[in-house]
């Protein structure tokens, strides 16, 4: 299982990856910079002008090493995956249940419970650790609103999917309305007014979008590893080119992993304003050095140990994606009574 912790990020522009024996070779201007055994890898993420030989793509697919190609600044372009593992009965059950409104409501309640609980935990930790530096009353008010919505989601038996989506949207708006208060350092360069993307228009949104892309890669790889179709979701319905199920499972990880890491990077001054660039279109982009800082911090975070709330065992954070995908597969098969969403405590 530890192989899921090991993702190779290629950020050097002009790099070329090829297969040599049972290894992945990374070269820049025909000079070998790195050689990694394939069995030590769980994924490869290529940023920008990075090329890969067709033989290596096939080799990765055969060895269940997911490959993602992103723009230099983190927008997903394409992925390479091998044959879907698992069995066709699991995927047929997934498709059938995705068309069952009652089932979709039930699992969406679980997904949103995890997301809202984890968003609230981010706010509560800020109140506890930085209560004297932030707008305590406004952050506390949003935390209470999230708690109230959690009660609505769990108490209403006749709630429909559209109402759940509306509640999720309201809570996301409230959560991000106080996100700027959680930033306690470098305020002149890291202000957050609202969530924007495609493209991000400020430094904070740039970091959020970049980390969400990394989480999406890991969640999607985990889902496909256990044999599920990452494009067929329950909260996020089918749309061409959208990985609906990956977006579903990603919801419980956004606040716990991406949002918290953004706040840490800024508040601990691990990143600074010099590492961000504004393009002619107004999009804010990370420079190469800052991108590497974020990638290293993300990988270190994935190596930290946490007690899984359902398994009651200590596991690396990077394994959580795979565990949640396995638990979802067990639920869809009927092996367990519900989907035990990840809740950060």
Domain extent, residue 23, equals 2-80
Q: In the listed set 80, 102, 137, which residue is the last one of a domain according to the structure?
A: 80
Task: State the burial class of residue 20 (Cβ atoms within 10 Å of its Cβ: 0-12, 13-18, 19+).
Answer: exposed
pTM over 0.75: yes
> 51-52 and 66-70 as β-strands: parallel, antiparallel, unpaired?
unpaired
Whether the pLDDT of residue 3 is over 60: the answer is no
Two tokens at 4? 């899921």
Confidence (pLDDT) at 11: 77
Same domain, 191 and 122: yes
Same domain, 257 and 190: yes
In a domain, 317, yes or no: yes
Look up residue 185 and give its DSSP letter: S
Same domain, 75 and 96: no
When pLDDT is averaged across residues 29-55 and rounded to a whole number, the result is 88
Two tokens at 252? 């419980």
Confidence (pLDDT) at 198: 80
In a domain, 92, yes or no: yes
When pLDDT is averaged across residues 273-280 and rounded to a whole number, the result is 88
In a domain, 339, yes or no: no
Confidence (pLDDT) at 148: 93
Q: In the listed set 80, 102, 136, which residue is the last one of a domain according to the structure?
A: 80
What's the Cα-to-Cα distance from 241 to each of 230, 231, 287, rounded to whole Å? 11, 8, 28
DSSP per residue, 204-223: HHHHHHHHHHHHHHHHHHHH
Same domain, 158 and 266: yes
Residue 323 binned pLDDT confidence (cut-offs 50, 70, 90): confident
In a domain, 179, yes or no: yes
Q: What CATH number is associated with residue 66?
A: 3.100.10.20
Whether the pLDDT of residue 85 is over 60: the answer is no
Q: Percent of the chain scored above 70 by pLDDT?
A: 95
Q: In the listed set 56, 80, 104, which residue is the last one of a domain according to the structure?
A: 80
In a domain, 291, yes or no: yes
Confidence (pLDDT) at 141: 94
Same domain, 102 and 200: yes
CA 48/CA 12 separation, integer angstroms:
8
**pLDDT tens profile 252-265:** 999 999 999 999 99
3-state secondary structure of 70: strand
Total domains in the fold of the chain: 2
- Tokens 């950020």 appear where? 11
**pLDDT tens profile 194-212:** 888 888 899 999 999 999 9
Whether the pLDDT of residue 298 is over 60: the answer is yes
Confidence (pLDDT) at 70: 76
Same domain, 205 and 314: yes
Confidence (pLDDT) at 4: 35
133-147, 158-172, 309-323: range with lowest mean pLDDT: 309-323
Same domain, 36 and 137: no
Helices H / strands E in the chain, number of each: 10, 12
**pLDDT tens profile 91-122:** 999 999 999 999 999 999 999 999 999 999 99
In a domain, 289, yes or no: yes
Same domain, 75 and 92: no
User: What are the DSSP E strand ranges found in the chain?
Assistant: 7-10, 15-20, 23-28, 31-37, 43-47, 51-52, 66-70, 76-80, 276-278, 284-286, 305-307, 314-316
Whether the pLDDT of residue 55 is over 60: the answer is yes
Q: Which residue has the higher pLDDT, 331 or 84?
A: 331
> What does the mean pLDDT of the chain come to?
88
Residue whose C-alpha is closest to residue 41's, from 329, 318, 304: 318
Residue whose C-alpha is closest to residue 247's, from 278, 268, 223, 263: 223
Residue whose C-alpha is closest to residue 344's, from 109, 119, 110: 119
Confidence (pLDDT) at 1: 29
**pLDDT tens profile 176-191:** 999 999 999 888 999 9
**pLDDT tens profile 56-74:** 999 998 888 878 887 766 6
Same domain, 41 and 140: no
Confidence (pLDDT) at 75: 66
CA 345/CA 341 separation, integer angstroms:
12
In a domain, 341, yes or no: no
Same domain, 95 and 65: no
In a domain, 27, yes or no: yes
Q: What CATH number is associated with residue 125?
A: 1.20.120.920
Beta sheet of 15-20, edge-to-edge order: 31-37, 23-28, 15-20, 51-52
Same domain, 141 and 286: yes
Confidence (pLDDT) at 74: 61
CA terminus-to-terminus distance, the chain: 23
Same domain, 42 and 121: no
């Amino acid at each position: 299982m530890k192989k899921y912790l090991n993702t190779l990020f290629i950020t050097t522009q002009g790099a070329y990856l090829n297969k040599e024996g049972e290894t992945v070779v990374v070269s820049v201007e025909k000079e070998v910079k790195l050689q990694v055994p394939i069995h030590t890898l769980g994924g490869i993420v290529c940023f920008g002008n990075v090329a890969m030989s067709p033989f290596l793509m096939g080799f990765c697919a055969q060895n269940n090493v997911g490959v993602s190609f992103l723009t230099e600044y983190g927008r997903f372009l394409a992925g390479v995956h091998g044959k879907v593992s698992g069995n066709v009965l699991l995927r047929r059950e997934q498709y059938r249940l995705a068309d069952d409104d009652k089932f979709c409501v039930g699992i969406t309640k679980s997904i949103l419970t995890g997301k809202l609980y984890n968003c609230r935990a981010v706010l509560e930790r800020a109140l506890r650790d930085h209560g004297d530096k932030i707008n305590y009353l406004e952050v506390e008010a949003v935390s209470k609103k999230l708690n109230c919505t959690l009660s609505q989601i769990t108490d209403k038996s006749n709630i429909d999917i559209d109402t759940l989506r509306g509640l999720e949207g309201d809570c996301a708006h409230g959560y991000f309305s106080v996100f700027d208060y959680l930033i306690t350092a470098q305020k002149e360069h890291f202000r957050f007014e609202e969530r924007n993307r495609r493209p991000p228009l400020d430094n904070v949104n740039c970091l959020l979008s970049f980390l969400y892309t990394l989480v999406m890669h890991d969640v999607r790889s985990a889902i496909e590893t256990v044999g599920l179709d990452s494009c067929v979701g329950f909260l996020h319905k089918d749309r061409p080119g959208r990985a609906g199920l990956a977006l579903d499972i990603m919801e419980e990880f956004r606040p716990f992993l991406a949002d918290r890491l953004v706040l840490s990077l800024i508040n601990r001054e691990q990143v600074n304003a010099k590492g961000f660039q504004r393009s002619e279109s107004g999009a804010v982009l990370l420079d190469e050095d800052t991108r590497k800082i974020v990638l290293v911090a993300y990988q270190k975070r994935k190596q930290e140990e946490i007690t899984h709330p359902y398994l009651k065992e200590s596991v690396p954070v990077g394994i959580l994606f795979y565990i949640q995908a396995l638990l979802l597969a067990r639920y869809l098969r009927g092996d367990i009574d519900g989907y035990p969403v990840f809740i950060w405590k």
